Copies of this chain bind each other. A is one copy, B any other.
Amino acid sequence: MKRTTIVDVGRLAGVSAKTVSRVLNGEPHVSQAVKQRVREAADALDYHPNVFAQALVRRKSNMIGLIYENPSPSYVVELQRGVLDRLTGERYQLVVIPIRSVQEHAGEVVGMLRSAALDGVVLAPPASDNPIILNQLKDARILCARIAPTRMIDAAPSNLIDDVAAAREIAEHIIGLGHREIAIIRGDPTHASTEARMLGYMQAFYKAGIELRLERIEPGLFTFDSGLSAARDIFGRGDRPTAILAQNDDMAVGAMMAAREFGLSIPDDLSVVGFDDSEVSRITWPRLTTVRQPVFEMAIAATEMLIAQLEDRAVTARITHPHELLIRESAAPPRSLE
């Protein structure tokens, strides 16, 4: 069985292959009558251009990639939803490149991208912050747009939120409620925003004159399970805090689960806050006080930046997206103040 080619369409319409190509690609210098005939012939033959022949001769694949390392399911879904949303109606395809550990395999990533012949990639954390990947992309001339990088902001188009300010604001909210004994569950140490959020918390503590003790800082990995076990460790020790700042919502929800295991009611015995405003923050009870990070919008904007580069349009180099403190039911004044 032979595929129908552009030559077949041309034969049926009585024109050359080149003319068919011109019509189908919307190039000028084709008469209306010919346009019409070619369109009809293409429809009649149910012609679909061969994207590989196009890619070969145009040296452009029309495929873009999304690189992430699975931190939290809701984050990934939002991310991908944003990219796909911007891509509908465009001629680009999304290829998903799963990376187990960006940290460990940074050197191999660009090789994979080159093999996949992508025109460009949207980099989500932690790849968006990885200097090795950024440099290799530049060398391989693969375009990129970044989501939530914290370093080398001007190395490639970036979509940011002010992680430090957002973290400071939510910490100030907790302090404002009267909490002084506050534990922190950190995110994945390979994500740079972990440090940025840490810094924001510390600024708030410093301003309020609260000492942050080292044993109040618990490591985590941005997953529900890591939040659960971090909180268990916190509660297992004698000196129980009245509030927990978790660096994302999944870990905060894990901490809430641990609180129930220890018979602590939220927010009466313990306040818990998260970060991201991911779906889980809205479906648990009590609903989670958190900071909204507009992941969906950032993904759309990053994809737009990438497309703009691919089509040689002017590119916005940096967008700082607004964050927003969302006060819900998981945080309240500590019992001692009631």
| A contact set with B: CB distance below 8 Å | 1, 48-53, 55-56, 61, 63, 70, 73-74, 76-77, 80-81, 84, 87-88, 93-96, 98, 111, 114-117, 141, 224, 250, 253-254, 256-257, 260, 279-280, 282-285
Contact = CB atoms under 8 A, between A and B. Distances in A.
Contact of A285 (B1, B55, B257): B257
B285 A283 contact: no
A61 B117 CA distance: 12
Nearest to A224: B283
12 contacts: A48-B111, A48-B114, A48-B115, A51-B115, A52-B56, A73-B74, A84-B96, A224-B279, A224-B283, A256-B285, A260-B285, A283-B284
B117 A73 contact: no
Is chain A's interface secondary structure helix, strand, loop, or mixed overall? helix
A338 B73 CA distance: 39
Contacts of A80: 96
Given A77-B73, A88-B98, A117 B284 contact: no
A60 to B, nearest CB: 10
B61 A52 contact: yes
A262 to B, nearest CB: 13
Contacts of A256: 285
B283 A117 contact: no
Q: Please list the 10 inter-chain residue pairs (A to B) with the smallest Cβ-Cβ separation, ordered nearest first.
A: A52-B55, A73-B77, A84-B98, A52-B56, A52-B52, A48-B114, A51-B117, A94-B96, A253-B283, A93-B95
Contacts of A95: 63, 93-96
Of A77, A93, A254, most B-chain CB atoms within 10 Å: A93
A328 to B, nearest CB: 12
Contacts of A87: 98
A283 B115 CA distance: 39
A250 to B, nearest CB: 8
Of A70, A254, A280, most B-chain CB atoms within 10 Å: A280
B56 A53 contact: yes
A48 B260 CA distance: 54
Contacts of A283: 224, 250, 253-254, 257, 280, 284
A232 B204 CA distance: 41
A9 to B, nearest CB: 15
Contact of A279 (B1, B48, B73, B94): B73
